[in-house]
Amino acid sequence: MRPVKILCVGILFLGLMATNSSDAASPAKEQYKIGVCLALTGPLAALGDPELKGAKLAVEVINEKGGVHGRLIELIIEDDAGKPELSVVKGSKLITKDEVLGIFGGTTGDACMAIASIAEKKKIPFISPTGFGGDEIQRGYKYNFLCIPDYDDAVEAIIKYAKAEFKCNRFGLLRLTRFWGVQASRAFHKFKNKYGIEVVREETCADGDKDFTPQLTNIKAAEPCAICIWASAPAAQIAIKNARHLGISVPLLGNVVFASKKTPEIAGEAAEGVIAAATMIWTDPLPRQQEYVERFTRKYGMPPDMWDAMGYDGIMLFTKAIGSLPEAKVNRENIRGALEKIPIYEGASAIFKYSQLRWPIAESWIMISIKEGKFYRIPFKW
Amino acid sequence: MGIGEGEMTRSQILQFVISGITQGSIYAMVALGFTIIFRTTRIVNFAQGDFVMFGAMLVATLHNLFHISLLPSILLSILIVAMIGGAMEITMIYPLKGVGIFPLVMITLGASIIFNSSSLLIWGVDPLHLKGFSGDNPIRFYGATLMPQTLWIVGAIVCVAVALFSFFRYTKIGQAMLACSMNDEAAASVGINVRMMVLSSFILSAALGGLGGVLIVPITMVMFDMGVLMTLKGFAAAILGGLGSAPGAVVGGIVLGLAESLSCGIVSSGYRDSITLFVLILVLLVRPSGILGSRFIKR
């Protein structure tokens, strides 16, 4: 009787083990846990949701090949709704309770800074798809790495392009009142002398605004030869429409928000010919991005954009860092060190040279435009 | 430059006024929704903006996704939103009758959160859009431009305001609704079906919200979280005009819209919201009952 019982328990135990790690390469090894803290609900879910999709795709790609050091990657997912106060709570939970090796997250600049500060204190590597980039405090952080190239570089790209293509040196600027907009404004002023340009009129707007005609009317009156719209979605798209309806015919310049899949659809004809700095465009990907675009489209049945590409790159960078370490030495501190030594990683979104810079290099920015409702890359030399 | 400085400014100001009236009409539409429910129940319905969001979402979905032609989509959207309003009253307001006004106001706040989240689940996070009813070619005059959709919005708000004003003043049902807000027991004792009046006020105000949403989507697009801001601006407009007054709601909305666009255009876009709120406080200090405040506000 007794041996049978033991056998039964044994089989049951084995069965449980098997279900626990049914698709594991080697069931004995524990998984590498990476924390993800993004805005999955709330208004910023429009960015957080694709970021998570990209991260999940990266995990799928890595685990298909058997993971790293024979261990699978597991994501512990938390939702901070884009609110920094929640980011602190969720980030701390990931660090202390889930004991993750690193965190990917921070959908907004504020959320990113909130996590970055605790990551710094708790000494845990943190890769974020956003961030202030140019922020002095963040520049001093040792544990925070960014997936998005510096927006100052984007502004420089825009100015450079406008100067070269239509000899423009009088810019109008419609920007957000919050930090992201301020950053754009500062960048324009920073490059004033270098490129001999001036901002003839600067106007501000807020995230939820629905009408930008007063601001654009004033900008129009100052007679700029190009207008830069630095706003979030759908504000940027409404502003594009407003500008065209006001009869503004000068080129409209923008950032990653213009590159949203929805721009041609919701801004319609008004979106024709807008120019923006982005890192990836699915209708016209760079050779290094082609495979990612195909894979993403196959998995989700929809085309990718730069936000999910950043989610993908974030997890890939962690995996690269872990892979470069001997298995016994995989810990938070060493992963940070390994990230810092990555010489070059040509990702789905950008080109990373973390050994030189904690965010992707300026050359990651590409210039895009819309023709007949379709995005395409426009030739641009740095 | 062929155009003189003075003329330039005039066309600019005209543009600010047009922009202000367009935005103001939208606020007025929400404020009118507040008015109807407040006049019948004295509840401030914080889910009013979500009716607008639903109307906008529905019309964009029906027209763009299901390819139903414009007029039926509009009518169907308004009908569905009216039903949502009715369902809200039946499931959330009626079962709690007798608890007083304040808990019910909190319930509407909860309803707003539910509506917001369900919209996120149904439509996702991307904004939806609809073409203007009469195309998207701006009309130009005196150096300013006007979207044909603006005419639709302003026309609709005028019609609705006149209709509502007459409804409350001259029809039996309108008077009965009014009676319910003053004293529901007395109203019941003279044979008014208070229950039906409350239900119809929710249906009517939801339908109005739906109409507002349908009208504004070509101009502002719609996202799942649009309702919150709509409620806020509409509420401010209603307070400004005098809560409970239909003409007040319209005037309040237009004044708010003009204050926003003029302060944004003439003073500074950075101070827009502070100036707008300053106007609101100023008006309320001078006239606590709002510009066209009714005798209802006695606090």
Query: Minimum mean pLDDT among A98-102, A136-140, A219-223, B2-6: which range?
Result: B2-6
Question: Is A83 exposed, middle or buried (CB count within 10 Å of its CB: 0-12, 13-18, 19+)?
Answer: middle
Closest Cα of chain A to B299: distance in Å? 33
Helix pair angle (B5-41, B172-182), 10° resolution: 70
Residues B230-244 have pLDDT tens digits of: 998 999 999 999 888
Report the DSSP pairing between strands A252-254 and A226-230.
Answer: parallel
**For residue B90, what is the DSSP state?**
I
* Contact residues, B window 96-125, toward A, CB-based 8 Å cutoff: 117, 120, 125
**A42 touching chain B per CB within 8 A:** yes
CB pairs under 8 A between A and B: 86
Q: Where are the beta strands (DSSP E) in chain A?
A: 32-38, 73-79, 102-105, 126-128, 144-146, 170-176, 198-205, 226-230, 252-254, 275-278, 345-346, 351-352, 366-371, 374-378
| Interchain pair B270, A177: CB under 8 A | yes
Cβ neighbors of B57 (< 8 A, separation 6 or more) are: B119, B122, B123, B128, B213, B222, B224
pTM: 0.83
Preferred mutation among B5, B15, B228 to probe A, highest tally of A CBs within 10 A: B15
Section A147-176 average pLDDT: 93
Share of chain A above pLDDT 70, in %: 90
Lowest mean pLDDT among A253-267, B60-74, B77-91: A253-267
Report residue B4's pLDDT band, with 50, 70 and 90 as the boundaries.
very low
The pLDDT value given to residue A23? 46
Nearest-by-CA chain A residue for B259: A214
Which of B16, B138, B273 minimises the CB distance to A245? B138
Percent of chain B's residues with pLDDT above 90: 51
Interface check for B145 against chain A (CB to CB < 8 A): the answer is yes
Chain B touched by A373 (CB under 8 Å): no
**A88: pLDDT confidence band, cut at 50, 70 and 90?**
very high
Range name among A334-338, B8-12, B266-270 with the lowest pLDDT average: B8-12
Instruction: Give yes or no for residue A138 having a pLDDT over 70.
Output: no
* A173 pLDDT above the threshold of 90: yes
Give the number of other CB atoms < 10 A from CB of residue A92. 15
pLDDT in tens, A215-242: 999 999 999 999 999 998 888 999 999 9
Give the type of residue at B15. Answer: Q
Per-residue confidence band for A254, with pLDDT thresholds at 50, 70 and 90: very high
Mean pLDDT of B78-85: 97
The verdict on a CB contact (< 8 Å) between A215 and B265 is yes
Residue A132 banded pLDDT, cuts 50, 70, 90: low
Read off the pLDDT of each residue in A39-45 and give the average, rounded to a whole number. 81
pLDDT of res. B6: 47
Question: Could you tell me the two tokens for B110?
Answer: 């909860």
Token digits of residue B283: 């008006």
Cβ-defined contact of B15 to A221 (cutoff 8 Å) = no
Would you call A271 an interface residue with chain B, using a CB distance cutoff of 8 Å?
no
Q: What average pLDDT does range A327-339 have in this prediction?
A: 95
Give the C-alpha separation, A297 to A308, whole Å: 11
Instruction: Considering only residues A370 and A14, tell me which one the structure prediction assigns the higher pLDDT.
Output: A370
Question: Does pLDDT of A20 surpass 90?
Answer: no
Nearest chain A residue (CA) to B128? A266
Regarding predicted confidence, which is higher, A183 or B82? B82
| Shortest CA distance from B218: residue in chain A | A266
Q: In this predicted structure, what is the pLDDT of residue B294?
A: 58
Shortest CA gap B240–chain A (Å) = 20
Summarize the confidence of residues A141-154 as an average pLDDT.
91
Does the pLDDT of residue A82 top 90, yes or no? no
Percent of chain A beyond pLDDT 90?
71
pLDDT digits (tens, 9 = 90+) for B149-199: 999 999 999 999 899 888 888 998 888 888 888 888 888 888 888 888 899
**Contact across the interface for A204 and B225, Cβ inside 8 Å:** no
Does residue A46 belong to the interface with chain B, where contact is any CB pair within 8 Å?
yes
Q: Which of B26, B145, B221 comes nearest A245 by C-beta?
A: B145
Rounded distance between C-alpha atoms, residue B116 and residue B103, angstroms: 20
Quick check: B219 and A45 CB within 8 A?
Answer: no
Q: Using pLDDT thresholds of 50, 70 and 90, give the confidence band for residue A376.
A: very high
Reply yes or no on whether the pLDDT at A251 is more than 60.
Answer: yes
- Residue A29 φ/ψ region, left for φ over 0, alpha for ψ in the -120 to 50 degree band, beta for the rest: beta
Longest Cα–Cα distance of chain A, Å, equals 95
Which of A19-28, B57-66, B101-110 bottoms out in mean pLDDT, i.e. has the lowest? A19-28
Q: Cβ separation of B221 and A247 shorter than 8 Å?
A: no
Which pLDDT value is given to residue B5? Answer: 44
Q: Chain B contact for A210, CB < 8 A?
A: yes
> Among A4-13, A147-156, A341-350, B97-106, which stretch is predicted with the lowest mean pLDDT?
A4-13
pLDDT value at position B173?
Answer: 87
Mean pLDDT value across residues A20-27: 46
Q: With 60 as the cut, is the pLDDT of residue B8 above it?
A: no
CB of A221 less than 8 A from some CB of B: yes
- Calculate mean pLDDT across residues A323-351: 95
Q: Quick check: B1 pLDDT over 50?
A: no
| Mutate which: B141, B221, B225, vs A, most A CBs within 10 A | B221
Q: Name the residue of chain B whose CA is nearest to A203's CA.
A: B269
Residue-level pLDDT at A45: 81
State the pLDDT confidence band at A1, using cuts at 50, 70 and 90.
Answer: very low
**Mean pLDDT score, B21-37:** 92
* Residue of chain A whose Cα is closest to the Cα of B261: A214
Answer yes or no: is pLDDT of B3 > 60: no
- DSSP symbols for A103-133: EEE-SSHHHHHHHHHHHHHHT--EEES---S
CA B45 vs CA B102, B224, B272: distances in Å: 11, 18, 26
Q: Check pLDDT > 60 for residue A22.
A: no
Nearest neighbour of B16 by CB, restricted to A208, A217, A269? A217
The ipTM value here is 0.84
Average pLDDT over residues A258-273: 88
Look at B145 and A206 and tell me if their CB atoms are within 8 Å: no
